[in-house]
Structure 1
Amino acid sequence: MAFSASIYNTLIRKNWIFVGAIFGGAFGADIAFDVYSDRFWDWKNQGRQWKDIRHKYVQSDDE
């Protein structure tokens, strides 16, 4: 009961803090989802993406 009361007094009691916590949480969740979905995509498609095979087709300026 004390934990829920401390959460209420900290986040929900004032509207501007509650809205800020919601927006902050949504922003953080969006960034986390983007990062982890990109990592998963790169893991599942390793060796088939342009960044992995570019060296086969593009010559550097040194050559």
Structure 2
Amino acid sequence: MPLRSRLYNVLFRRTSTFALTIVLGALVFERAFDQGADAFYEHLNHGKLWKHIKHKYETEEK
């Protein structure tokens, strides 16, 4: 219970800190979700993406 009351007093008691907590939480969640989805997509499509196969098709021009 002390952790809950401390969390309430620090983050949720005032409207301004509550709004800031929500905004920062959304930004952190969005960043983590985006990076996780990108890693999952690259794992599923390993060997099929251009960055994995471009060495087969590019030639060195002088």
Q: Tell me the distance in 1 between the aligned counterparts of 2:8 and 2:39.
A: 36
Structure 1: 5+ residue runs without aligned partners? none
Q: CA deviation at 1:60?
A: 2.7
- The percent identity for this pair of structures is 35
User: What amino acid is the match of 2:2?
Assistant: A
Q: Give aligned pairs, total.
A: 62
Q: State the Cα deviation string for residues 22-62 of structure 1 (Å, max 9, x = none).
A: 00000000000000110011011000000100111111345
Gaps of 5+ in 2: none
TM superposition score normalised by structure 1: 0.90
TM value normalised by structure 2? 0.91
Q: 1: distance between equivalents of 2:14 and 2:24?
A: 15
- Kindly report the root-mean-square deviation, in angstroms, between the aligned alpha carbons of the 2 structures: 1.0
Give me the whole-angstrom Cα distance separating, in 2, the residues matched to 1:58 and 1:41: 24
